[in-house]
Structure 1
Amino acid sequence: MAYMFGLIGYPIKHSLSPWIHKQFMKTTGMEGDYCIYEVTPEDSFEAFIGQLKSSRVDGFNITVPYKEKIISYLDDIDPVALKIGAVNTVVNRNGKWIGYNTDGKGYVRSLNSKFPNLLKKVTKRALILGAGGAAKGIFAALEEVGFKRVDIANRTKEKAVMICGRHKHQSQVYSFKDVEQRLHDYDIVIQTTSVGMKPQVDQSVLSDDTNFSPVPIYSDIVYQPIRTNFLQRAEQSGAQIHYGHTMLLYQAQYAFELWTGRKPNIGQMDEELKQILKGR
Structure 2
Amino acid sequence: MPRILVVEDDASLRDDLTVFLEAKGYTATGAATVAGALQTLEAAAFDLILLDLGLPDGNGLDLLRQVRARCGLRCGVVVLSARNGLEDRLQALEAGSDGYLIKHASLREIEGTLRNLLQRLPPAAPHAQPRRPRDPHATTPDARAPHTSLWTLHRLNRTLTTPAGTPVALTARELVFLDLLAAQAGAVCPHQDLTAALAEHGGDASQAGLMTLVRRLRQKVQDQTGQESPVRTVYGRGYCFAGSVTVLPPAGPSPAGPS
Query: Between Structure 1 and Structure 2, whose CA radius of gyration is higher?
Result: 2
TM-score, normalised relative to structure 1: 0.30
TM-score, normalised relative to structure 2: 0.31
